[in-house]
Structure 1
Amino acid sequence: MFKLGAERKPLDTEQDLASAPTFSRLENAANNRDLYRLAQAFVEQFVASYAKPPKMIVLDMDHSEDQTHGQQELAFYNHHYQSHCYLPLFLFEGLSGKFITAALRPGKRPKGAENAMILKRVLKRLRQHWPETRILLRGDAHFANVELMQLALDDPYTDFLFGLTGNSRLKKLAEPHLERTRRLHDTRCHNARLAEQEPPQRSRTFHEIDYQARSWPQNFRTVLKAEVMGLGDNPRFVVTSLKDPAPEMLYTELYCARGQDENFIKMMKNDLASDRTSDCRFAANHMRLFFSCAAYVLHQALRTELLQGTELSRAQPSTVIIKLFKLAVRVAQYKDRIKLHLPSSCPVEALLHTITERLYRLPRPSPNTS
């Protein structure tokens, strides 16, 4: 089947595919320039996935723990995760789930300058194609640094929305709002007991507070989620350059939606083995990460282009792999054709026919296309 995908005859032993040692040599042959060009190629394919410039995209960024178990280059101990690991950076488009690019990193916590260096290159490539598309940079609290904020300020069509780590100053500003929320929670619990109903598990209100860190180039909008639960207070903060919408919608609809980015990363790790970074060389492990990224791009295209309207339109990669690829098939090669015989009780036979017809109708690239 892999030979068919490579347009070779499946039973022709003179056209065998690459062996595991050949792939190992390929992984270890990659240098820094190759990896940089591959990272750019992922950005270019992301741009090419749009027929016309979008009005807005959300650039979700997040790091993920990639545990190492050996003497891999640049694998460091990270106290937050309490493991020796890499800490790769993943960039996804938050509205569609499309993959933009990734960078394998050492296991240490990234600084703002490093994040800004990577994002600046990505934004430069995007702006070459989409000069007026609105771009929202979105991430959790360790992206709330002055370098990324300034990167957004330098572009009139770019905004940011980051989580913000609480400190003594923020907690002091939040205390009056938390006190009112505590009274609201107590009242709601009292009313529920009088009505012999289950008391609410939490109460929360949303507010804007006047706060500016010393390192910030200017005053930015800071939003507080004042949440009170049975176990205690749970204040949360976000900072943004957006003027709209209202605080509650900004937090619940815009910021909390970044949690979907973590699901995309889980697909990459659990289903597509992006954490298979067991080579001793850092560049080879980066190449392995890019193999998984390419698999995610193929899965996203398959799901959005060919599986729309089917039972797998929202399926994760592992489900697609099990139902469509891990099938028993008998390959029969003739002089003028190749037939694939499915089992008589194949449960996804109709789905395979649908996908095959859709694939057949797709325009094929010309031989001169690079």
Structure 2
Amino acid sequence: MPDDTIEPFGFPAIGRKKLTAAFDGGRITSDGGVMLLAAAERRMGIAERLARLISDPRNPLFVRHSVADILRACMLAIACGYEDADDLDHLRDDAGFKLACGRLPDSARDLCAQPTVSRWENASGLREVVRMAYAMVDIYCASYHRPPAAVTLDIDDTVDVVHGHQQLSLFNGHYDERCFLPIHVYDTATSRPMAILLRPGRTPSGHEVRAHLRRLLRRMRSHWPTTRLTIRGDGHYARPEVIAWCEANAVDFIFGLPGNAVLSRLVSVAADDVRVGRAEAAIPVLRRYAETRYSARSWTRERRVAARIEASTQGLDIRFVVTNLAKGDAEWLYDTVYCARGQAENLIKLHKSQLASDRTSCRSALANQVRLLLHTAAYWLMLTVRDAIPEPHALAGAEFTTLRMRLLKIAAHITETATRVRIAFAAACPEAALFRGIALSFHPAGP
């Protein structure tokens, strides 16, 4: 509740007028835009969907906060930039967050506090966490109105430095840190996340990646049995087990392929042509493409390999990709198809840097996976709000931090009377028209 014991204070006078101040403005929230997130959450039903998968042994007669309410409060707080459970100790009586969670600002009970959040982060068992991970796949599939003809999924991992001696944390020599290396899977064309999986801080093996893909794509196939799937990843996902599994299950793939002496010899003629052509033209850089067939020792047969060959004043640089795609030339495979996976790294930055999903500071690995799921749910809320912005608008492709500053961090005065609750936003809000349009777009369609 507001602290009425703080005495009034002042600022230097302006224009001969004295400036006085006091914390007596009433029920004002600095996160008025949380109502947009709440509307997006109601449309998607993420909190209720995840809550149904967590067993609740409590006596219903003494329950103050349902599991769905706890999860919803966490998701909204993360999306608004409050990534720590401790923040809910201060947000639990915030009028905006109470309204967003379906509670009246003055007459209803406050939201859950940090101990309740931490208790439920650690409450789920392995089976429940697995079901919650599958639920995120279901949410991704449900985000399409009808099964798409084809989708391309980008798989990658990112370093998550640990904050203590948590389960699954390992020392990684490449990053020179004890860390996790969670795997992220995105539909890059739409920026939608499909799965975020916590895992130890070592490079994933072929058997591990194959097992993750098998479970995730089997779940996806239960929704989209005829959709054509393409998996895209960098060099350390081009494992023999993964490639063989994709071919055996009618899944297209395109992976980066580490270079070696054999590959360099196979494209040596094309490389010489590029090197000579650059020298003759006296230009700083010349890029060409080539294609060959190659079989590594660990492979059972030859596969199609495309090479990007670039000669510059610094020397020769050759990059390879391996694929089972039959169409398109080498330039199209590398520049158009493979290089598009760079967008997945931007999506990981949104998830990790702008929603602080690296706050995996629980001791239990299962609790940290629950945290990743909650951050992914917050990602979905932010993405849903962004997708509701009309395409010509400057914020239609904005990053989450920009959306938070322009649409969520909006002051609002909230008044509860006997018959209604009124939210008064600032008259000078620069995004007032856009805010209103997004709010109306989330209203349920009439009969």
Instruction: Tell me the TM-score normalised to structure 1 length.
Output: 0.91
Question: For 2:278, which of 155, 174, 185 is the aligned residue?
Answer: 185
Which letter maps to 2:339?
C
Which letter maps to 1:24?
S
Contact 2:165 2:363 survives alignment (8 Å): yes
Which letter maps to 1:46?
Y
Tell me the secondary structure at the aligned position of residue 313 of structure 1: helix
Q: How does 1:106-185 map to 2 (within 5 A)?
A: 106-156=200-250, 158-185=251-278
Tell me the secondary structure at the aligned position of residue 140 of structure 2: helix
- Equivalent in the alignment of 2:173: 79
- Residues 49-83 of structure 1, C-alpha deviation per residue, up to 9 Å, x if partnerless? 11111011001100001111321111111112221
Tell me the secondary structure at the aligned position of residue 168 of structure 2: coil
Question: Are 1:219 and 2:313 counterparts?
Answer: no
- Equivalent in the alignment of 1:7: 102
Structure 1 unaligned blocks of 5 or more: 190-198, 365-370
What is the distance in 2 between the residues matched to 1:233 and 1:326? Answer: 50
Question: Are 1:53 and 2:136 counterparts?
Answer: no
Contact 1:306 1:358 survives alignment (8 Å): no
What is the distance in 2 between the residues matched to 1:308 and 1:299? Answer: 16
Contact 1:3 1:17 survives alignment (8 Å): yes
Question: Are 1:287 and 2:370 counterparts?
Answer: yes
What is the distance in 2 between the residues matched to 1:363 and 1:89? Answer: 37
| 1:308 Cα deviation after fit | 4.3
| 1:292 Cα deviation after fit | 0.9
| 1:322 Cα deviation after fit | 1.1
How many residues of Structure 1 are paired with residues of Structure 2 in the alignment?
351
- Residues 101-157 of structure 1, C-alpha deviation per residue, up to 9 Å, x if partnerless? 11000101110000010100111111112122111110000010111112211223x
Contact 1:55 1:133 survives alignment (8 Å): yes
Which letter maps to 2:257?
L
Tell me the secondary structure at the aligned position of residue 339 of structure 1: strand
Tell me the secondary structure at the aligned position of residue 388 of structure 2: helix
| 1:188 Cα deviation after fit | 1.9
What is the distance in 1 between the residues matched to 2:433 and 2:240? Answer: 54
Tell me the secondary structure at the aligned position of residue 200 of structure 2: coil
Q: How does 1:236-255 map to 2 (within 5 A)?
A: 236-255=319-338
Question: Are 1:44 and 2:127 counterparts?
Answer: no
Contact 2:385 2:438 survives alignment (8 Å): no
Tell me the secondary structure at the aligned position of residue 255 of structure 2: strand
- Residues 142-194 of structure 1, C-alpha deviation per residue, up to 9 Å, x if partnerless? 010111112211223x21100001122112223322211111111221xxxxx
- Residues 268-294 of structure 1, C-alpha deviation per residue, up to 9 Å, x if partnerless? 011111100112221111111111111
What is the distance in 2 between the residues matched to 1:64 and 1:76? Answer: 14
- Equivalent in the alignment of 1:367: none
What is the distance in 1 between the residues matched to 2:117 and 2:390? Answer: 30
| 1:94 Cα deviation after fit | 2.3
Contact 1:67 1:275 survives alignment (8 Å): yes
Contact 1:306 1:359 survives alignment (8 Å): no
What is the distance in 2 between the residues matched to 1:69 and 1:20? Answer: 18
| 1:206 Cα deviation after fit | 0.5
Question: Are 1:329 and 2:424 counterparts?
Answer: no
Aligned-residue CA RMSD (Å): 1.5
Q: Which has the larger radius of gyration?
A: 2
- Equivalent in the alignment of 2:316: 233
Tell me the secondary structure at the aligned position of residue 108 of structure 1: coil
Contact 1:137 1:161 survives alignment (8 Å): yes
Tell me the secondary structure at the aligned position of residue 115 of structure 2: helix
Identity %: 37
- Residues 249-273 of structure 1, C-alpha deviation per residue, up to 9 Å, x if partnerless? 1100000000000000000011111
